[in-house]
């Protein structure tokens, strides 16, 4: 566009020299007449927009093309990098990926410590302004990203260290008092062993519905007590096809071992 090899942001000294203002207040109105201006296509068609006044601490509002500014004969694709563009220094090809922002970092330097006169004394007894930073993480958005990464259309697979429960205990055939008592006994022993367990003790709910709910809840381990298991417990790790019949002591031991690496 302007026949240059690299195009970089102007440094602070250049901005002050050209605009006669501090950084952050540059605008299109009032620039030197011999300055060649190239306007990004994101400004095309805008009305009543805001821009710097080339004067420190002042911005202009309700600016319009043709009334306040001469309408450029052409707008240019300058601001937004697109897939296939080249890195100005390394010449690497720019690639585009979908992403979600789950955290951010803002370097604040001494801006706010100067405003609040917040200082520390260094090893030489000199008072210096504190350098500050802002560090944030979006916990709810992070959980959504985890589901997208580890889940599928019909199933969530929580990583073991952030799962809502460690083990999902499903009771089937609970209308049978013997099976119900056995399931409740397993539940109590798991709790006493320190295992975080979610117990599905709904009697009227069908097995298929219970398993579907378990897939959506996504606990790392799933244990089933039923008439079919004949006093044993069917254990399955979420995401794997195979399951095994084990006794209560084995269940507790395997659950504890499984979660050791998550601590």
* Same domain membership, residue 111 and residue 182: no
Instruction: Return the pLDDT at 154.
Output: 83
Question: How far is residue 123 from each of residues 21, 79, 120, 128, measured CA to CA in Å?
Answer: 37, 45, 10, 11
Task: Confirm if 166 and 255 have CB atoms less than 8 A apart.
Answer: yes
Question: How far is residue 130 from each of residues 111, 115, 124, 135, measured CA to CA in Å?
Answer: 9, 11, 15, 16
Domain end marker among 40, 75, 97: 97
Does 159 fall in a domain? Answer: no
Residue range of the domain that includes 52: 1-97
pLDDT tens digits, one per residue of 127-160? 999 999 999 999 889 999 999 988 888 889 999 9
* Same domain membership, residue 74 and residue 111: no
* Same domain membership, residue 117 and residue 83: no
Does 244 fall in a domain? Answer: yes
* Same domain membership, residue 123 and residue 31: no
* Same domain membership, residue 92 and residue 1: yes
* Same domain membership, residue 82 and residue 10: yes
Does 188 fall in a domain? Answer: yes
DSSP 8-state code for residue 213: H
Does 64 fall in a domain? Answer: yes
* Same domain membership, residue 115 and residue 56: no
Does 153 fall in a domain? Answer: no
Instruction: Return the pLDDT at 87.
Output: 84
* Same domain membership, residue 70 and residue 108: no
Compute the distance between CA of residue 226 and CA of residue 211 in angstroms, rounded to an integer. 13
Residue 167 in this model has a pLDDT that exceeds 70: yes
Residue 47 in this model has a pLDDT that exceeds 90: yes
* Same domain membership, residue 220 and residue 176: yes
Compute the distance between CA of residue 89 and CA of residue 81 in angstroms, rounded to an integer. 14
Nearest C-alpha neighbor of 42 from the set 74, 79, 71, 10: 79
Residue 230 in this model has a pLDDT that exceeds 90: no
CATH code, 253: 3.40.50.800
pTM metric for this prediction: 0.60
- Of residues 263 and 20, the one with the higher pLDDT is 20
* Same domain membership, residue 73 and residue 33: yes
- Of residues 78 and 207, the one with the higher pLDDT is 207
Nearest C-alpha neighbor of 98 from the set 86, 88, 83, 108: 83
Does 44 fall in a domain? Answer: yes
Neighbours of 205 (CB within 10 A): 15
Residue keyed to tokens 């260094």: 122
1-6: average pLDDT: 70
Domain end marker among 76, 97, 118: 97
194-213: average pLDDT: 96
Does 157 fall in a domain? Answer: no
* Same domain membership, residue 110 and residue 89: no
pLDDT tens digits, one per residue of 77-121? 888 888 998 887 888 999 999 888 899 999 999 999 999 999 999
Q: What percentage of the chain has pLDDT greater than the value 90? A: 73
Does 156 fall in a domain? Answer: no
Residue 263 in this model has a pLDDT that exceeds 60: no
How many separate domains does the chain show? 3
Compute the mean pLDDT over every residue in the chain, rounded to the nearest whole number: 92
> 81-90 — which CB contacts under 8 Å span 24+ positions?
88/6, 88/7, 88/8, 89/6
């Amino acid at each position: 566009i302007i026949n240059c090899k690299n195009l970089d942001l102007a440094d602070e000294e250049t901005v002050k020299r050209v605009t006669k203002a501090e950084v952050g207040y540059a605008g299109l109105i009032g620039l030197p007449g011999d300055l060649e201006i190239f306007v990004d296509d994101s400004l095309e068609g805008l009305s009543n927009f805001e821009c710097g006044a080339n004067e420190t601490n002042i911005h202009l509002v309700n600016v319009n093309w043709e009334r306040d500014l001469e309408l450029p004969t052409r707008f240019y694709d300058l601001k937004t990098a697109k897939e296939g563009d080249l890195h100005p220094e390394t010449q690497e090809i720019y690639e585009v990926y979908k992403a979600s922002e789950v955290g951010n970092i803002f370097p604040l330097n001494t801006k706010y410590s100067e405003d609040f006169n917040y200082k520390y004394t260094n090893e030489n007894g000199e008072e210096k302004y504190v350098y500050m930073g802002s560090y944030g993480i979006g916990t709810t958005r992070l959980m959504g990203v985890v589901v997208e990464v580890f889940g599928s259309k019909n199933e969530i697979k929580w990583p073991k260290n952030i799962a809502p429960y460690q083990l999902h205990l499903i009771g089937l055939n609970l209308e049978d008092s013997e099976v119900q008592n056995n399931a409740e006994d397993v539940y109590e022993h798991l709790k006493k062993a320190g295992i975080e367990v979610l117990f599905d003790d709904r009697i009227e709910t069908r097995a298929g519905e219970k398993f579907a709910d378990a897939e959506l809840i996504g606990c790392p381990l799933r244990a089933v007590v039923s008439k079919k298991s004949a006093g044993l417990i069917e254990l399955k790790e979420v995401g794997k096809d195979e399951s095994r019949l084990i006794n209560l002591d084995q269940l507790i031991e395997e659950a504890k071992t499984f979660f050791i690496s998550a601590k």
